[in-house]
Amino acid sequence: MSASPVTLMVARRVASGRYHDFNRWLNEGRELAADFPGYLGSGVLAPPEHDDEYQIIFRFSSSDTLHAWEHSASRHAWLIRGKGLYDTPCEHRATGLDTWFQTGAVGAPPRWKQAVAVWLAFFPVSLIFHWMFGGVLADWSLIPRVLVSTLMLTPVMVFVFIPFSTQLLAPWLQGKWSLTNVWARLRHVHRV
C-alpha cells in the first residue's frame, strides 16, 4: 500500500431533477469522510452549463486510510442512501502531483506542461491575494507572512484553481492541441 497521499476522483451524473437532493447527499458524504483518520480534504467541480456530471475529489494521507474509508459501514450506508440520485459513477485513483493531470488511460503530460498549468492557476490567485491582503501583511515578518499566505492559498489552489486550470487546459496537456495545430487551422480557414 502507498504511504503517500492518494486522491480518489469520482465522476457522477446527476439523475434528472435530483440536483438538490444530490447536493445534500454529496455534502453529507464529504462530512462523513472528514471524520475518518487520514482525511486531507475533498472538493467538488460542478458541471458546466447543459451538463450533469459532477467531479468529486476525496484525498487521503495513504492508500490504507482511503481503503478504510471506502470499506467502512458508514460509507456503505451513505452510498445506499444515494441510490437513484446519480447514474453509473466512474472512479479513478492517483497518487502524487500527477493526480491533477491524469485522465483515464492517458498518462500524465510532461512536467513542463504541468508546471505551466500550475503556474497559470497560481499566479492570478496569488496576485489577487496579495492585492487584497498585502497591505495587512506588509508589516509582518517574513515567516508569519509566508505561513498565513500559504495556509490560505494552498486549499484554494488544490481544490479549486489547479483542477480548473487542468480541466481548461486538458486538450493542450494531453497533446491534442498545439500552436502548430492552431496555426494550420487558421491558415486553412483563411484560404477558404
- CATH code of the domain in which 47 resides: 3.30.70.100
pTM of the model: 0.50
Q: Is residue 104 domain-resident?
A: no
Kindly state whether residues 128 and 153 are assigned to the same domain: yes
> Beta strand pairing status for 39-45 and 53-60?
antiparallel
Region 171-189 average pLDDT: 60
Region 8-35 average pLDDT: 88
Q: Is residue 105 domain-resident?
A: no
Contacts of 27 by beta carbon, 8 Å cutoff, 6+ apart: none
Of the ranges 9-23, 79-93, 120-134, 174-188, which one carries the lowest mean pLDDT score?
174-188
| Separation between Cα atoms, residue 8 and residue 103, nearest integer Å | 12
The whole domain housing 173 covers 111-191
The answer to whether the beta carbons of residues 70 and 42 sit under 8 Å apart is: no
State percent of the chain over pLDDT 70: 79
Total domains, the chain: 2
Q: What integer pLDDT is reported at residue 76 of this predicted model?
A: 93
Q: What integer pLDDT is reported at residue 189 of this predicted model?
A: 45
